[in-house]
Structure 1
Protein backbone atom coordinates (compact mmCIF):
# COMPACT_ATOMS: atom_id res chain seq x y z
CA UNK A 1 0.00 0.00 0.00
CA UNK A 2 1.05 3.56 -0.68
CA UNK A 3 0.06 6.49 1.52
CA UNK A 4 0.21 10.28 1.44
CA UNK A 5 -0.02 11.88 4.89
CA UNK A 6 -1.51 15.38 5.05
CA UNK A 7 -0.01 18.33 6.94
CA UNK A 8 -2.27 18.17 10.03
CA UNK A 9 -0.88 14.80 11.01
CA UNK A 10 2.57 14.32 12.51
CA UNK A 11 5.52 12.98 10.54
CA UNK A 12 5.75 10.24 13.19
CA UNK A 13 2.78 8.52 11.56
CA UNK A 14 4.67 8.41 8.27
CA UNK A 15 7.78 7.14 10.06
CA UNK A 16 5.78 4.36 11.73
CA UNK A 17 4.20 3.25 8.47
CA UNK A 18 7.62 3.24 6.76
CA UNK A 19 9.03 0.99 9.51
CA UNK A 20 6.09 -1.36 8.85
CA UNK A 21 7.15 -1.55 5.20
CA UNK A 22 4.71 0.84 3.54
CA UNK A 23 5.53 3.39 0.83
CA UNK A 24 4.72 6.72 2.53
CA UNK A 25 5.06 10.40 1.67
CA UNK A 26 4.29 13.17 4.17
CA UNK A 27 3.43 16.58 2.75
CA UNK A 28 6.60 17.89 4.45
CA UNK A 29 8.54 15.86 1.86
CA UNK A 30 6.79 17.44 -1.14
CA UNK A 31 8.33 20.44 -2.97
CA UNK A 32 5.82 22.90 -1.43
CA UNK A 33 5.96 21.05 1.89
CA UNK A 34 2.92 21.64 4.11
CA UNK A 35 1.77 24.43 1.76
CA UNK A 36 0.85 21.87 -0.90
CA UNK A 37 -2.72 22.51 -2.02
CA UNK A 38 -5.48 19.96 -1.61
CA UNK A 39 -5.85 19.77 -5.39
CA UNK A 40 -2.14 18.93 -5.77
CA UNK A 41 -2.43 16.28 -3.04
CA UNK A 42 -5.42 14.79 -4.89
CA UNK A 43 -3.45 14.80 -8.14
CA UNK A 44 -0.46 13.01 -6.59
CA UNK A 45 -2.81 10.54 -4.92
CA UNK A 46 -4.48 9.65 -8.20
CA UNK A 47 -1.28 9.50 -10.28
CA UNK A 48 0.57 7.35 -7.74
CA UNK A 49 -2.48 5.46 -6.39
CA UNK A 50 -1.83 6.68 -2.83
CA UNK A 51 -4.30 6.63 0.03
CA UNK A 52 -4.55 10.10 1.57
CA UNK A 53 -4.56 10.09 5.38
CA UNK A 54 -5.88 13.38 6.74
CA UNK A 55 -7.94 15.17 9.37
CA UNK A 56 -9.13 17.71 6.76
CA UNK A 57 -12.84 17.18 6.10
CA UNK A 58 -12.55 19.07 2.79
CA UNK A 59 -11.05 15.87 1.39
CA UNK A 60 -14.22 14.01 2.35
CA UNK A 61 -16.33 16.43 0.30
CA UNK A 62 -13.94 16.12 -2.63
CA UNK A 63 -13.99 12.32 -2.37
CA UNK A 64 -17.78 12.11 -2.25
CA UNK A 65 -18.38 14.66 -5.03
CA UNK A 66 -15.45 14.12 -7.42
CA UNK A 67 -14.03 10.75 -6.30
CA UNK A 68 -10.73 12.52 -5.50
CA UNK A 69 -8.33 11.56 -3.93
CA UNK A 70 -7.68 7.98 -5.10
CA UNK A 71 -8.63 6.61 -1.64
CA UNK A 72 -9.20 8.41 1.64
CA UNK A 73 -8.63 7.64 5.30
CA UNK A 74 -10.19 10.43 7.37
CA UNK A 75 -8.84 10.55 10.91
CA UNK A 76 -11.04 12.12 13.54
CA UNK A 77 -9.20 12.83 16.77
CA UNK A 78 -8.54 15.66 19.10
CA UNK A 79 -5.33 17.61 18.69
CA UNK A 80 -2.25 15.41 18.77
CA UNK A 81 1.34 16.46 19.16
Structure 2
Protein backbone atom coordinates (compact mmCIF):
# COMPACT_ATOMS: atom_id res chain seq x y z
CA UNK A 1 0.00 0.00 0.00
CA UNK A 2 1.14 3.50 -0.73
CA UNK A 3 1.36 5.69 2.37
CA UNK A 4 2.36 8.92 0.61
CA UNK A 5 0.24 11.94 1.37
CA UNK A 6 -2.01 13.22 -1.39
CA UNK A 7 -0.70 16.54 -2.69
CA UNK A 8 -2.84 19.66 -3.00
CA UNK A 9 -2.70 19.39 -6.80
CA UNK A 10 -3.87 15.78 -6.64
CA UNK A 11 -6.77 16.75 -4.37
CA UNK A 12 -7.87 19.31 -6.96
CA UNK A 13 -7.69 16.62 -9.64
CA UNK A 14 -9.60 14.08 -7.51
CA UNK A 15 -12.36 16.38 -6.29
CA UNK A 16 -12.51 18.93 -9.08
CA UNK A 17 -12.53 21.60 -6.36
CA UNK A 18 -9.84 24.21 -5.65
CA UNK A 19 -10.96 25.48 -2.25
CA UNK A 20 -10.13 23.39 0.80
CA UNK A 21 -13.59 23.83 2.32
CA UNK A 22 -15.29 22.56 -0.84
CA UNK A 23 -12.88 19.60 -0.98
CA UNK A 24 -13.83 18.73 2.62
CA UNK A 25 -17.52 18.98 1.67
CA UNK A 26 -16.89 16.76 -1.38
CA UNK A 27 -15.37 14.00 0.77
CA UNK A 28 -18.29 14.28 3.20
CA UNK A 29 -20.80 13.95 0.35
CA UNK A 30 -19.01 11.21 -1.61
CA UNK A 31 -17.71 9.02 1.23
CA UNK A 32 -19.61 10.23 4.30
CA UNK A 33 -16.43 10.98 6.25
CA UNK A 34 -14.99 13.99 8.02
CA UNK A 35 -11.44 14.30 6.73
CA UNK A 36 -8.49 15.38 8.85
CA UNK A 37 -7.30 18.89 8.02
CA UNK A 38 -4.30 21.03 8.86
CA UNK A 39 -4.67 24.32 10.72
CA UNK A 40 -4.85 26.12 7.37
CA UNK A 41 -7.72 23.89 6.19
CA UNK A 42 -5.77 21.69 3.77
CA UNK A 43 -6.71 18.01 3.78
CA UNK A 44 -4.30 15.42 5.15
CA UNK A 45 -4.89 12.01 3.56
CA UNK A 46 -2.72 9.17 2.30
CA UNK A 47 -3.15 7.54 -1.05
CA UNK A 48 -3.77 4.22 0.71
CA UNK A 49 -6.70 5.72 2.60
CA UNK A 50 -8.20 7.21 -0.55
CA UNK A 51 -7.79 3.94 -2.46
CA UNK A 52 -9.46 2.01 0.37
CA UNK A 53 -12.37 4.47 0.44
CA UNK A 54 -12.77 4.19 -3.33
CA UNK A 55 -12.64 0.39 -3.22
CA UNK A 56 -15.21 0.26 -0.42
CA UNK A 57 -17.52 2.59 -2.34
CA UNK A 58 -17.13 0.45 -5.47
CA UNK A 59 -17.99 -2.65 -3.44
CA UNK A 60 -14.78 -4.56 -4.07
CA UNK A 61 -13.77 -4.83 -0.41
CA UNK A 62 -15.35 -7.39 1.87
CA UNK A 63 -17.96 -5.83 4.10
CA UNK A 64 -17.05 -5.17 7.68
CA UNK A 65 -20.37 -6.57 8.88
CA UNK A 66 -20.06 -9.46 11.30
CA UNK A 67 -20.92 -12.90 9.93
CA UNK A 68 -24.50 -14.05 10.30
CA UNK A 69 -25.19 -15.86 13.54
CA UNK A 70 -27.16 -19.10 13.56
CA UNK A 71 -30.70 -19.02 14.89
CA UNK A 72 -30.84 -20.06 18.54
CA UNK A 73 -33.76 -22.00 20.00
CA UNK A 74 -34.44 -22.26 23.69
CA UNK A 75 -34.25 -25.70 25.24
CA UNK A 76 -36.81 -26.40 27.92
CA UNK A 77 -36.48 -29.09 30.49
CA UNK A 78 -39.30 -31.57 30.88
CA UNK A 79 -41.06 -31.15 34.21
Tell me the TM-score normalized by structure 1. Answer: 0.27
Higher strand share: 1
Give TM-score, length-normalised by structure 2: 0.28
